[in-house]
Amino acid sequence: MQILIVSQYFWPENFRINDLASELSARGHSITVLTGVPNYPQGKFYSGFGLFSPFKQDFEGVQIFRAPIFPRGNNSSWKLALNYLSFAFFGSLIGLLFCRKRYDAIFVFEVSPITVGIPAIAVKMLTRSPIFFWVQDLWPDSLTSVQAVSSRMILRIIDLLVRFIYNRCHKILVSSESFIEKIIKQRQKKDKIIFFPQWTEELFQVVSVDDEAPERNDIPPGFCIMFAGNLGFAQSFETIIDAAEKLKKYNDIKWVIIGDGRMKDWIGKEIINRNLQHSVYLIGSKPLHTMPTYFALADALLVSLRKSEINAMTIPAKIQSYLACGKPIIASLDGEGQRIIERSQSGLTSGSGDAEGLAENVNKLYQMASKERKLMGTRGKQYSEKFFNRTKLIDRLEDYFAGH
């Protein structure tokens, strides 16, 4: 099949869409990716990239066209708006000029922003190709949950834009079942909406760690609670730091935070202000391929989200990765993510924003026999293989494309 993937983010940025593109190409499909210049999450162009170059690249047999884009900068509202709108405009222009063939499917990977759908619609108007829109973030709900927009007029305009995009899609795929009712309220028919969860990338699995592995140097001795991912507002680091402070009398409990994002400087300051230098460790971003090794060095893996309606409906992608690596999970969140961990019996959960509950669960896991923790991790891996199997889910996606 001829498939066009539209995603504002793509390799060398670390997103699941990279894995999908390379797998579809390996299965013999002709894959083209329309994307922007990589600048996430640092907010500046990656080394070797500029506003207009390289324009065309190859990634594991996938043809890439890159649209000029304004970098995110420091994630201020106006810079993010320019970032989103520039891809919508230049992505549409590049799509109309260079993605002119008839595609069996235009697949849109929609993590924020929703405007990623605009270039796809431009190409559809030219080629009459069907759009399959994979919703990871619900708009405008995602904007209100992180307090990015409060103006009712602007939210109304965005709501109309969302409907405009959804109306032009052949199918709307959702990463969480909780999204379905919200999208129906956007005047979409239920039979147009398909639950399609994120899968576990093959990279994430149980691994053994050599004694000389360099990753060991980043992990302090003790009982390690590890967070990996975006250090953003939505992750509720206030809750994590509060919990760490409640447990700092336990010298053996260590919190290791891997990643980058807008909250990084705040976390660093709080570590100093609360005298947590011997409890909480910020070790920065690490290459994606090293993450299973870091996870193997942890005693438990942490996922957290700020309390909000939209966050309760979201399944953080890291849950699938954590489950596959066979470690117990400590979760501070509500809704869909919490239910997956409880159903899989793979860890301990507390509600979003509940620092006391998070601290209690960390202490409970710390006091638990190692064989009980190991059993949690084993159950999580089994659940991952049953419900988030990569091969089965990509098989299903191929069927959607072929059967339109």
- Averaged pLDDT for residues 92-114: 95
CB atoms within 10 A of CB 35: 29
Answer for the pair 116, 7: CB distance below 8 angstroms, yes or no. Answer: yes
In the block, tokens 């894959």 appear at 31
Query: What whole-number distance in Å separates Cα of residue 221 and Cα of residue 250?
Result: 13
Preceding omega of 221 cis (within 30 degrees of 0): no
Q: Band of the pLDDT at 160, cuts 50, 70, 90?
A: very high
Answer for the pair 24, 31: CB distance below 8 angstroms, yes or no. Answer: yes
Q: Positive or negative, the Cα torsion across 258, 350, 305, 236? A: negative
- Which of 251, 233, 183 lies closest to 353 in space, CA to CA? 233
Indicate the DSSP class of residue 148.
Answer: S
Query: What whole-number distance in Å separates Cα of residue 185 and Cα of residue 311?
Result: 18
Whether the per-residue pLDDT at 148 is higher than 80: the answer is no
CB burial of 51-71 (b: ≥16 within 10 Å; e: otherwise) equals eeeeeeeebeebbbbbbbbbb
Answer for the pair 170, 131: CB distance below 8 angstroms, yes or no. Answer: yes
The values of phi and psi at residue 315, to 5°, are -105, 105
- CA distances from residue 366 to 10, 22, 189, 297 in whole angstroms, order as listed: 38, 40, 48, 15
Whether the per-residue pLDDT at 51 is higher than 70: the answer is yes
Whether the per-residue pLDDT at 149 is higher than 70: the answer is no
Which of 3-12, 18-27, 44-53, 320-329 shows the lowest per-residue confidence on average (mean pLDDT)? 44-53
For residue range 187-212, what is the model confidence (pLDDT) as tens digits? 899 999 999 999 988 889 999 999 99
Question: Which domains occur in the chain, in start order?
Answer: 2-199+389-402 (3.40.50.2000), 214-387 (3.40.50.2000)
Q: Where are the alpha helices (DSSP H) in 249-328?
A: 264-273, 291-297, 309-313, 317-324
The reported pLDDT for the residue numbered 242 is 97
CB atoms within 10 A of CB 319: 27
In the block, tokens 């708006």 appear at 81
Higher-confidence residue: 294 or 157? 294
- CA distances from residue 114 to 55, 71, 323, 376 in whole angstroms, order as listed: 23, 17, 28, 37
Query: What whole-number distance in Å separates Cα of residue 317 and Cα of residue 306?
Result: 15
Q: Is the pTM of this model over 0.85?
A: no
Q: Band of the pLDDT at 298, cuts 50, 70, 90?
A: very high
The reported pLDDT for the residue numbered 147 is 58
Measured CA angle at 394 (ends 388, 396), to 5 deg = 95
Would you call 376 helix, strand, or coil by DSSP?
helix
Query: What whole-number distance in Å separates Cα of residue 25 and Cα of residue 401?
Result: 14
Which of 52-56, 64-68, 226-230 shows the lowest per-residue confidence on average (mean pLDDT)? 52-56
Q: Band of the pLDDT at 310, cuts 50, 70, 90?
A: confident
Q: Band of the pLDDT at 118, cuts 50, 70, 90?
A: very high
For residue range 353-392, what is the model confidence (pLDDT) as tens digits? 999 999 999 999 999 999 999 999 999 999 999 999 999 9
